[in-house]
Amino acid sequence: MWLRENPVLQRELIVNLRTPRAFLLLLFFQLVLSAVVLIAYPRDAKVVGGDAAKKLVDFFLAGQFILTSLMAPSFAAGTITGEKERKTYEMLLASPLSPTRIVLGKLIASLTHLFVLMIASLPIIMLCLPLGGVSPLELLITYPALLCALIFFGSVSILCSSYFKRTSASLVVSYLILLPMLLLGFLLWRLLALDPAIRLPGIAIASGLLLVASFTCLGVAARRLLYPPDVGSQGSEVVDLEKEQQEAVGLVLQRDQFPDRLFAPPRRKTLMQDGANPVYDKEIHAELFSQGTLMLRLVIQISMLLAIPLMAFLLFFRTSLSSWYMEYVAIFNILVAPVFTAGSISSERERQTLDLLLTTTIAPLQILWGKWLAGFRVSFVLTAFLFWPVFLAFLLNPDLSRNWPSVLAYMAIILISATFNSVLALLCSTLFRRTSVSMMYTYAILLLLYLGPIAIWYLISSFSRVAAAESWQWLGAGSPLAAIQAVPFGETFSAAGQTRSRSGNLPLLITYFAVTASMIAAMVMAMISLFRDRWRLTGHD
């Protein structure tokens, strides 16, 4: 009764699984996993029980865990917020369905496609069993554990979806909560691999804990649907910011004070100045924060909570690994940049105001500049909050003071990558009609462009017998993560008196700046061309 006669589940399955995107995603996923096994498969493995098979299976399962976990929020974070955006939320709550059935239907429907992807990979991993070293019992326990992790990631995303009114806010908060857990899960997998005696019991215990946490998240989400605080004919589409500040728990944004006004300026109470960009003024003062500041407050608190231990360890105690902190800053910007820009144009289509905007006297470049600058300002200021530990360490740590050119190079990489992320999100918002689709494609492109080359290089350097594995580093010429590692870093002194240094790769670093600047220019020219042919944007013949 909970599943077979659940109209929410049936409707969501039909919508999700009968689209060309579902088939293409399954095809792409299978091709990627097949390529991984093909590249890493040992050509000369004749001895049963070799370490090559164990290493291959561990890499395969860990990669599948990371891929499916990263995709889970994109499928589940918009399940309830999508109802709110389509104005069908109250109709769903007024139906005879219980909140538990609604939540379960949303969860199963959003994760069914990922379940299919995971089960479809079983024939590929079975090819590694003849090599030995891996028992079928490990797969029988590991795959249910992967499913439990996927259910947990989806449950957290649905919980976030029940608290926000926009899919973009739900998505970014879901990623900020789940990424540390994803890293902890990966580290736990690596630690359990060191001792085969406790590996299977450890995986079973972790799976049970994930299920308990999943049921807790789903119970909270169902209770919120049972007593919804955000419905009613008396409700307003725009949040009362003064009332929200009075009721806020934790961080409170003072939009008329520094530094809050840098990314959340107060509403305008005076007339605009002559020559000001009306698009930028409307976006930065009203549009970006019309749904409240809950998402901003959560983003700031979670990011700073994660940054403090990383800052203390990497910038003061292990200065030679300071590049890892800068990669954390780059990944943070990858998460927040699409949120404030991916809906710039698509939201105009959804509100059916794009035709009105295009018939004004505002030039296309002025529209694009205003939309981009409003989103970039907020995302970059949020990212810049993570720079203060760098300045503090620069003043207190002599190792960083001596390497000031490297610190400047780090900041330049963050700046140009943040610009690229926002421009790409604006381009996707121009091309796609829905904000959720625009944001999903933005994240997919960024993951493929930034993490794909690094994964390929690691795969080839770890499993292939290619002599010059360093040559594959050039695949990351467009990735800021690879560029940060390519920055030369001089000698640093540890407490034991040992010195460490990193020669870096200056040609790769210069190539990154050139490639990224070229891609930014190409995307800007493409958007200007689309705005000049205005019928392409509106979809009219």
How much is the pLDDT for 468? 45
Rounded Cα gap, residues 286 and 280, in angstroms: 10
Q: Is residue 25 part of a domain?
A: yes
How much is the pLDDT for 385? 80
Last residue of a domain, one of 226, 252, 267: 226
Of 29, 36, 11, 26, the residue nearest 460 (C-alpha): 36
Within a 10 A sphere around the Cβ of 202, how many other Cβ atoms? 16
CA 129 to mean position of chain CA atoms: 34
Q: Is residue 403 part of a domain?
A: yes
Last residue of a domain, one of 226, 252, 280: 226
Cis peptide before 259 (omega within 30 of 0): yes
Q: What's the total number of domains in the chain?
A: 2
Q: Is residue 302 part of a domain?
A: no
Two structure tokens written together for 123: 């024939």
382 and 531 assigned to the same domain = yes
Owner of token pair 């381009």: 427
- CA 417 to each of CA 329, 380, 409, 467: distance values in angstroms, whole numbers, following the listed order: 11, 10, 12, 32
Cis peptide before 398 (omega within 30 of 0): no
Q: Is residue 183 part of a domain?
A: yes
Two structure tokens written together for 456: 């390929």
User: Which residue type sits at 155?
Assistant: S
Q: Is residue 165 part of a domain?
A: yes
| Domain containing residue 92 | 7-226
* DSSP-derived 3-state class of residue 106: helix
pTM above 0.75, yes or no: yes
Contact 42, 53 (CB under 8 A): yes
How much is the pLDDT for 32? 77
How much is the pLDDT for 216? 92
Q: Give me the residues of the chain with pLDDT under 50, please.
A: 45, 47-48, 233-236, 238, 249, 467-468, 493-497, 540-541
217 and 322 assigned to the same domain = no
Of 217, 227, 289, 221, the residue nearest 260 (C-alpha): 289
Last residue of a domain, one of 171, 199, 226: 226
Of 327, 352, 297, the residue nearest 169 (C-alpha): 297
